[in-house]
Amino acid sequence: IADTVKEEVLPQDEQDFDIELQKFAASVEATEGHKQRRIALLSKLSRVLQTNFPEEDIELTTFGSTESNLALRRSDVDICIQTHSRTSKLQTTCQLARLLHEEGLVNIVCIPRARVPIVKAWDPSLGIACDINLNNSLAKTNTAMIKACVEYDARIRPMALLIKHWAKCRKFNGTKGKGVLSSYTITCMLLNYLQLTDPPILPSMVALQQNDYCKPKVQLNEKSIGSLFIGFFEYYGYRFEYESYVISVKQGYLLSKKTKVWDSDQNNILCVEEPFNNMRNLANTANEMEVMGLRLEFQRAYQILKRSRDHAGLVETFREF
């Protein structure tokens, strides 16, 4: 018996497609310029808060893709403002919206009655969009989870970047939050697919946390990025049973809609459990027609990539409409 395990070498065509995918992912990820603009926006906001609330201890942090290392060129900056006192003078997102307006930001949309009240805005002088919330610490926790998952295996990051980009190109992830699914939701769908792949690429979130988010010693799955990427579209296009199951990144497997008593609500056509609040369905924004459309999009991407695992196939998959 050999005492060393021979590493599987991928066939040349699979290696070529992986290189192509990685190049594509690099072409959509946020640039150094995006990072600089993000930093400039943060210091602008920090100055505005200090000027308007000089006595207060107000903390500004970023979360979302800029922290999980999944930012695209077209990503917004997700910002959390934490006021550390209950008597803070900054109490509402509408107040914040006024300050942003005075500072020259435009396209300001205030959503005060959302589950997490936010303000969306565009900074024309920096050319960057932001989503700002007040005192929502859950977002930092789930961003840390996404980050740990992305770091778990080098194949995950390019796939996640490409799938988020695909969702934007195919218009079911809107820039103004009008999309059928958020980037976060579709990222959770990818993570669960990787947990269910045989052998799994990613453990359950529970296992990851127990292991203190440590990297694995052995990775039993040596599939190419390309075959996993195509497999993702095939899985959600043809195999996943939308009617019966709930996607759970926390557990790393599928839960039954019936057991969760999520089967009788018409907002639960596609079910993606929020890992840190298992009462919440992240995909309750998608109605029956939209889920059907989404499924057809997965099928479309699969059919294209099955035929042409090359640059032309990727261009077609990501074609904007």
Q: Does 274 bind ligand GTP (CB under 6 A)?
A: yes
Select the residue whose beta carbon is closest to Mg ion and give its number: 64
Burial class (CB in 10 A: 0-12, 13-18, 19+), 79: buried
Q: Does 237 bind Mg ion (CB under 5 A)?
A: no
Q: How far is CA 16 from CA 162, 194, 236, 309, in A?
A: 17, 22, 25, 9
Q: Which of residues 29-68 bind Mg ion (CB under 5 A)?
A: 64-65
Nearer to Mg ion, 39 or 206 (CB): 39
x-or-dash string of contact with ligand GTP, 190-229, rule CB under 6 A: ----------------------------------------
* Stretch touching ligand GTP by CB under 6 A, among 6-14, 66-74, 90-98, 295-303: 66-74
Total residues found in the chain within this entry: 321
Q: Does 126 bind ligand GTP (CB under 6 A)?
A: no
Shortest Å, Cβ 71 to ligand GTP: 5
Q: Does 164 bind ligand GTP (CB under 6 A)?
A: yes
**Out of Mg ion, ligand GTP, none, which partner does residue 62 contact, by CB within 5 to 8 A per kind?**
none
Q: Which of residues 140-159 bind ligand GTP (CB under 6 A)?
A: 142-143, 146
Question: How far is it, in rounded angstroms, from Cα 191 to Cα 112?
Answer: 31
One of 29, 78, 123, 234 touching Mg ion (CB under 5 A)? 78
One of 21, 28, 64, 161 touching ligand GTP (CB under 6 A)? 64
x-or-dash string of contact with ligand GTP, 282-311, rule CB under 6 A: x-----------------------------
Q: Which positions touch Mg ion (CB under 5 A)?
A: 64-65, 76, 78
